[in-house]
Amino acid sequence: MLGLTSAPVIFVQPMKTRFVLCALTYAAAAVLTTSTIFAAESTPKHVLFFNKSSGFEHSAIKHAPGELAASEQVLKELGEKHNIEFTFTKDGSMFTPENLKKYDVFMFYTTGDLTTVGTDGHPAMSKEAKAMFLDAIRNGKGFVGVHSATDTFHSPGGEKIDAARYKADGDNADPYIKMIGAEFIKHGQQQAGHLICADKNFPGMSDVPADFAPVEEWYSLKDFAPNMHVLLVQDTSKMHGNIYKRPNYPSTWAHMYGKGRVFYTNMGHREDVWTNPVFQSVLMGGFDWTLRRVDANVKPNIKKVTPKADVMPPMD
C-alpha cells in the first residue's frame, strides 16, 4: 500500500502491471451533467482497465514500475469522484472465469492480437479466455473502448495496413470487432477534428459544444455495427489526408451486444485529451450507461446520421 489517508488510495498488488483504486469515501451523490444524475451507492462499481499492447504501445498507457500512466491517473481521479474502483492491468491472464464475474465493466485501450505476447512483453490472453470474455459481454457485462481498442483483434487478413485493411469484412469480421462495433483502418496526421453530436440526450453528451474540435490522432474506421447508436460524428469536410477523404462516419457510439452494453470513442491518443473536461464528460457518460446507473435510448441511428459511413477512403 502506498499510503493511507482519508482520501482514496491506491493499492499496488504484487504483479507490477496491476493497480487497484480503492475509494474509501464518496460524496452523497455525483452529477455528470444536468440531465444525468445518479444516486450514491453503498459499494463502488468495479472496472477492469486492460491496456496491454500486443501491437503499438501508446504513450497514454505507458508507465514506470509502481507509477500510473497518464490515462490511469485520470481514471483514478474520476473513480474517486464517481464511486468506481478501477483495476489497471496489462496482464492477459487476468481473464479468468472468476475475474469475469468480479467486474461490472471491462475497459480496453489495447492494440494487436491480445492472444500473443507481442510488443509490451506482458502475458497474453488465451484464445479460450477471449471467447469467455465475449460471452460475458453478450450475457450482460459492460464494455468501454477508447481509441486503439478498435486496433485490436483485426479481422483475418487485416493484420497489416494493406489492401485487405481497406475492404469490408462483413460477416467475416472478427467476433471482437462485431462486439466493439468497428475496425480501425488507418490514421493520418494529428489535427483538429470537428465532432458533431448526434444525441444530446445520451449521458455526458450535453456537454459537447457545437464547435468541439480537439487535436487528436483520428482513426478512420470500417465495418460499423448495423445496430449502432451514433453519439459523435467525425466531420471529414475539413480534414487533411487521403484516409479522411470519405463521407462523415461514427466517432463515438453505443450499442447492445446481446444483453451487454458497449460504448466506444475513437478519442484518447493524446494525454491532453484525457485531461479535457469534454472528453471526460463523454467518457463518464459511457461509464454511467454501461454500468447501468442510467438508461438511454440506443435505438440504431447509423443509417440516419451517417448514411454513407460504409464508403471506404482511398488507399494512400
In this structure, what CATH number is given to the domain that contains residue 228?
3.40.50.880
Residue 4 counted as domain residue: no
Is pLDDT at 270 greater than 50 in this prediction?
yes
> How far are the Cα atoms of 155, 228, 256 from residue 310, in angstroms, in the given order?
16, 13, 20
The amino acid present at 220, given as its one-letter code, is: S
Helix axes 277-290, 70-82, angle to 10 degrees: 60
How far apart CA 180 and CA 107 sit, in angstroms, is 11
Query: Could you list the residue range(s) of the whole structural domain that residue 231 is in?
Result: 9-305
Is pLDDT at 240 greater than 50 in this prediction?
yes
Residue 312 counted as domain residue: no
pLDDT band at 12 (very low <50, low <70, confident <90, very high): very low
Residue 2 counted as domain residue: no
How far apart CA 174 and CA 154 sit, in angstroms, is 7
Q: pLDDT, tens digit, for every residue of 63-105?
A: 988 899 999 999 999 999 999 999 999 999 999 999 999 999 9
Q: Are 78 and 8 in contact (CB under 8 A)?
A: no
The secondary structure of residue 262, as a DSSP letter, is: E
Domains contained in the chain, number: 1
pLDDT of residue 40: 52
Q: pLDDT, tens digit, for every residue of 39-62?
A: 456 799 999 999 999 999 999 999
Residue 261 counted as domain residue: yes
Residue 85 counted as domain residue: yes
How far apart CA 20 and CA 193 sit, in angstroms, is 34
DSSP character string of 216-251: E-PEEEE---TT-EEEEEE--TT--SGGG-S--EEE
Residue 289 counted as domain residue: yes
Mean pLDDT of 265-272: 98
Is pLDDT at 199 greater than 60 in this prediction?
yes
Is pLDDT at 250 greater than 70 in this prediction?
yes
Q: Are 291 and 145 in contact (CB under 8 A)?
A: no
How far apart CA 234 and CA 87 sit, in angstroms, is 31
Total Cβ atoms within 10 A of residue 284 = 21
Residue 316 counted as domain residue: no
Residue 189 counted as domain residue: yes
C-alpha cell at 80: 474517486
Mean pLDDT of 287-314: 98
pLDDT of residue 33: 40
